């Protein structure tokens, strides 16, 4: 909504100034090519001088204050400012980026520059809506805009729990996704004593800790204690598919079974990549669709951000980034909240951007929680668990409210992608002789191109060699201190040119 008030002055180059009293509208106006904003003053170019000069006796004149004056904001010579009537101004000529807008009280339209019709009357202070929709569609669009960005509003877990009850959400359904990409082997350098984040031993690894704490804090909000669990990023799924924790695709019964399955599956895995959250988000959307539109929460535990090549410019997206963004945007059409729990050393800069700046969504459905940062605080275990629960559940009450107001609950679109997860990986020793021979023949028939790919990101070619003789791409090799193949400390790096 825009509230405009004419300042009564004509500026150079046929530009006219209006005072905008709505700060929110100023932010929107900055995105319009035909609007220039300085402070709370809006400048509309391309108006016809002839059409604004009027003898209407009710005209209001004014001037720009000294605070708004500059070399670009001057009256034309000593000529007194023209009269600007309460009838307002006609809009700029329509272009590809400048379309007419309408409201319930007024309608703007443009004709040729040679003849402009008498402008529709607009009283000073009238709110002009940029939304041309009406009825239920209008209210849905307004709700969508309302929930495009959801801030963190709570400071205690009790406040979140109370807000969940007030929003009508007493229980939900959890879905779990685990990251098995290659980067887990070195992103524990600081936070896990230079060990793989998936190392199974006497002491729990970061993924086991995260699963346990999620079970304590989020399980009470799960309705039936049935948790579909998926893995992604290993050598069988890469950035294209997911595998289920059970061969029959059944959910786990409680987080105790989730932990048991994780410990059983992880030793059988071969970590790979690249990293994309798209497949696990698509799998969650399919579950929501098949449930008849019930509200779900997808919790993704991962060690790093989406794969991005060093050759990708700042204004471009990698294939994995594009897929992830597309899947998260599509998920906003369903009653699904996504919580990304970050374990390991990161980096997490891009994930923070994902949380706040994902575009074109029905509602803000994505929340990032830095598990490592919370667990490294100098607090008691119970205080850390409470802090994690607060961070994870912070946006859930408003996200549920948004899904309800947008009419997403109970809705079945029929357009969700049907996902068939792969079975969980099995130990190599259990594979049959036929399977081994088939794999061997298949590998022999494949071209050697795959062996030239970086073993870390599986995207770029190998162009950096370590002192131990193993090679990666320059992007991945510059970020590790131990060889990702043999785990020896890197003492030298040699750039390869072809």
pLDDT tens across 216-273, in order?
888 877 878 899 999 999 999 999 999 999 999 999 999 999 999 999 999 999 999 8
Nearest to 97 by CA among 45, 20, 38: 45
Confidence band for 436, pLDDT divided at 50, 70 and 90: very low
- How many Cβ atoms are within 10 Å of 465's Cβ, its own excluded? 16
- Tokens in use for 488? 């020896």
**Most confident range, picked from 103-107, 148-152, 488-492:** 488-492
Spatial contact of 84 and 29, defined as CB atoms under 8 Å apart: no
Average pLDDT over residues 176-194: 93
The answer, yes or no, to whether the previous bond of 297 is cis (omega within 30 of 0) is no
Could you tell me where the beta strands, DSSP code E, fall in 126-186? 127-128, 173-179
> What separation in angstroms does the CA of 472 have from each of 308, 462, 480?
15, 5, 10
- Tokens in use for 279? 């497949």
- CA 78/CA 267 separation, integer angstroms: 83
Q: Look at residue 100 and tell me whether its pLDDT is greater than 80.
A: no
Low-confidence winner among 45-59, 190-204, 380-394 (lowest mean pLDDT): 45-59
pLDDT of residue 88: 44
Same fold flag, 154-405 and 447-498: no
Helix (H, G, I), strand (E, B) or coil at 22: coil
| In the block, residue with structure tokens 């990708």 | 312
- Tokens in use for 66? 């000294």
Residue 380 Cα to chain centre, angstroms: 32
Q: In terms of C-beta density within 10 A (0-12 exposed, 13-18 middle, 19 or more buried), how is residue 320 classed?
A: buried
Selected residue with higher pLDDT from 323 and 9 = 323
Selected residue with higher pLDDT from 389 and 444 = 389
pLDDT of residue 164: 74
- CA 373/CA 351 separation, integer angstroms: 14
Q: Look at residue 2 and tell me whether its pLDDT is greater than 60.
A: no
H or E stretch covering 15: strand 15-20
CATH second-level architecture of 447-498?
Answer: 2-Layer Sandwich (3.30)
Selected residue with higher pLDDT from 149 and 354 = 354
Spatial contact of 83 and 59, defined as CB atoms under 8 Å apart: yes
Could you tell me where the beta strands, DSSP code E, fall in 143-274? 173-179, 226-227, 229-232, 243-244, 252-253
Burial 176-209 (b: 16+ CB within 10 A, else e): bbbbbbbbbbbbbeebbeebbbbbeeeeebbbbe
CATH superfamily for 154-405 is von Willebrand factor, type A domain (3.40.50.410)
| In the block, residue with structure tokens 């409210």 | 401
Average pLDDT over residues 439-467: 64
Spatial contact of 320 and 308, defined as CB atoms under 8 Å apart: yes
Degrees (nearest 5) of the Cα angle 416, 419, 219?
Answer: 90
Average pLDDT over residues 270-287: 95
Average pLDDT over residues 166-174: 78
Spatial contact of 24 and 13, defined as CB atoms under 8 Å apart: no
Residue ranges covered by each domain of the chain? 2-132, 154-405, 447-498
pLDDT of residue 264: 95
Put the strands of the sheet holding 366-370 in their side by side order.
Answer: 243-244, 229-232, 173-179, 296-302, 336-342, 366-370
- CA 281/CA 326 separation, integer angstroms: 10
Q: Look at residue 41 and tell me whether its pLDDT is greater than 60.
A: no
Average pLDDT over residues 50-74: 39
Selected residue with higher pLDDT from 441 and 250 = 250
- Tokens in use for 261? 């399955």
Q: Dihedral through CA 403, CA 407, CA 413, CA 419, nearest 10?
A: 10
User: Mean pLDDT of all residues in the chain?
Assistant: 72
Long-range pairs, 452-459, Cβ under 8 A, ≥24:
455/182, 455/484, 455/485, 456/182, 456/183, 456/273, 456/480, 456/484, 457/182, 457/273, 457/274, 457/307, 457/309, 458/182, 458/238, 458/272, 458/273, 458/274, 459/273, 459/274, 459/307, 459/309
Nearest to 214 by CA among 172, 157, 183, 254: 254
- Tokens in use for 103? 């409201």
Q: Look at residue 161 and tell me whether its pLDDT is greater than 90.
A: no
pLDDT of residue 152: 55
pLDDT tens across 385-425, in order?
889 988 988 888 899 999 999 999 999 999 999 999 999 99
Q: What share of the chain has pLDDT > 70, as a percent?
A: 62
pLDDT of residue 240: 95
pLDDT of residue 54: 39
């Amino acid at each position: 909504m825009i509230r405009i008030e004419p300042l009564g002055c004509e500026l150079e180059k046929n530009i006219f100034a209006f005072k905008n009293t709505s700060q929110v509208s100023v932010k929107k106006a900055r995105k319009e090519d035909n609007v220039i904003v300085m402070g709370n003053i809006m400048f509309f170019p391309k108006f016809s001088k002839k059409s604004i000069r009027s003898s209407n006796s009710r005209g209001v004149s004014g001037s720009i204050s000294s605070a708004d004056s500059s070399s670009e904001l001057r009256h034309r010579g000593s000529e007194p400012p023209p009269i600007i009537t309460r009838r307002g101004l006609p809009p700029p000529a329509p272009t590809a980026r400048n379309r007419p807008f309408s409201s319930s009280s007024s309608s703007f339209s443009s004709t040729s520059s040679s003849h402009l019709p008498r402008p529709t009357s607009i009283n000073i202070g009238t709110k002009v809506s940029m939304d041309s929709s009406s009825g239920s569609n209008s209210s849905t669009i307004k709700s969508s805009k309302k929930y495009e960005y959801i801030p963190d509003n709570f400071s205690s877990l009790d406040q979140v729990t109370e807000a969940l009850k007030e929003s009508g959400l007493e229980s939900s359904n959890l879905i779990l996704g685990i990251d098995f990409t290659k980067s887990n082997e070195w992103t524990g350098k600081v936070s896990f004593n230079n060990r793989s984040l998936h190392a199974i031993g006497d002491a729990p690894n970061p993924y086991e800790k995260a699963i346990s704490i999620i079970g304590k804090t989020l399980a009470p909000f799960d309705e039936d204690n049935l948790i579909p669990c998926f893995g992604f990023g290993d050598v069988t799924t890469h950035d294209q598919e997911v595998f289920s924790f059970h061969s029959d695709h059944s959910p786990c019964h409680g987080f105790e079974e989730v932990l048991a399955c994780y410990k059983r599956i992880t030793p059988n895995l071969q970590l790979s990549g690249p990293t994309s959250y798209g497949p696990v988000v698509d799998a969650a959307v399919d579950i929501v669709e098949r449930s008849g539109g019930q509200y779900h929460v997808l919790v993704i535990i991962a060690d790093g951000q989406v794969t991005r090549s060093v050759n990708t410019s700042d204004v471009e997206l990698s294939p994995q980034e594009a897929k992830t963004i597309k899947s998260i945007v599509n998920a906003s059409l369903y009653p699904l909240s996504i919580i990304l729990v970050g374990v390991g050393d990161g980096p997490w800069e891009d994930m923070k951007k994902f949380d706040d700046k994902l575009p074109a969504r029905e509602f803000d459905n994505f929340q990032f929680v830095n598990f490592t940062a919370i667990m490294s605080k100098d607090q008691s275990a119970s205080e850390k668990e409470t802090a994690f629960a607060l961070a994870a559940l912070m946006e859930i009450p408003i996200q549920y409210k948004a899904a309800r107001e947008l009419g997403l609950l109970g809705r079945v679109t029929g357009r969700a992608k049907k996902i068939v997860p792969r079975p969980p990986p099995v130990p190599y020793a259990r594979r049959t002789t036929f399977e081994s021979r088939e794999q061997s023949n298949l590998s022999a028939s494949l071209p050697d191109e795959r062996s030239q790919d970086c073993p870390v990101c599986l995207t770029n070619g190998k162009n950096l060699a370590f002192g131990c003789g193993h090679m990666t791409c320059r992007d991945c090799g510059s970020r590790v201190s131990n060889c990702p193949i043999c785990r020896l400390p890197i003492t030298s790096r040699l750039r390869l040119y072809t």
